[in-house]
Amino acid sequence: MNKLTMIMISTLTMTTLQCSLVRAQRLDQAALLQAISGPDREVSDFIRDPVRKPVQVLDFLGVTPGMTVLDLYAAGGYYTFIFSKAVGPEGTVYAQNTVRARQFVEDRQDITQGQALDQKIQQGKLSNVIQIVRPLASLGLQPGSLDTVMVAQVLHDYYNPNPDRALNMLLQIKALLKPGGVIGITDHVGIARYDNNDLHRMTIAQATAVAEQAGFEVLRSATGAQR
């Protein structure tokens, strides 16, 4: 059976949904931290790091050089940049957005998310990044071709209107993963008695339930940025 592990990071939940195999390699965290600390990175992205803990997240996902990664709804490219540095010149990062998503205003900037992503790719010289401007259902990627898929603060948008949409999303992503591939999910943690739809959140129980429905086994839930 496929597997799911969870980690709590501040107000975000970090979840990995893993397909059958266990990864033995570990990320060189010091090297990645140095790679994303240079002047080629957008200043506003540094502000997000204390909460998002990107180096710990990528280590948790088991990302290593040479991997093929899909950043689903990459938006302005916060994780795209970091994945690009992590997988290196031998790896590939697909940064996916829709036409509509590229038109949204980027957080903390007076430009669109599409413009922000374009600038990150150019300024960071991210030659291993390939943009995909199509919905999930028509990405054009081969089944079983991805090592990792990142779903950052998106699952609640699928789940809250209709849980079946979230289930369908996870099943589509799962089909794209190699054996041993991982889906990483970060999202704001909701509280059951609140209106999480209005707050753009979801509970851990909801995320776990839809993952199990998609065929994943929950391995564990932990607090902190450690496996």
pLDDT in tens, 74-84: 999 999 999 99
pLDDT digit string, tens, across residues 36-59: 999 999 999 999 999 888 998 898
In the DSSP assignment, the letter for residue 112 is B
Taking the C-alpha atoms of 37, 39, 45 and 50 in order, what is their torsion angle to the nearest 10 degrees? 30
Residue 30: partners with Cβ closer than 8 Å, 6 or more residues away = none
Domain boundaries, the chain: 2-223
Pick 2-223's CATH classification: 3.40.190.150, 3.90.190.10, 3.40.50.150, 3.50.50.60.
3.40.50.150
pTM of the model: 0.86
Look at strands 146-152 and 68-72 and give their pairing: parallel
For residues 133-148, give the mean pLDDT. 95
On whether the CB atoms of residues 62 and 86 are closer than 8 A, the answer is no
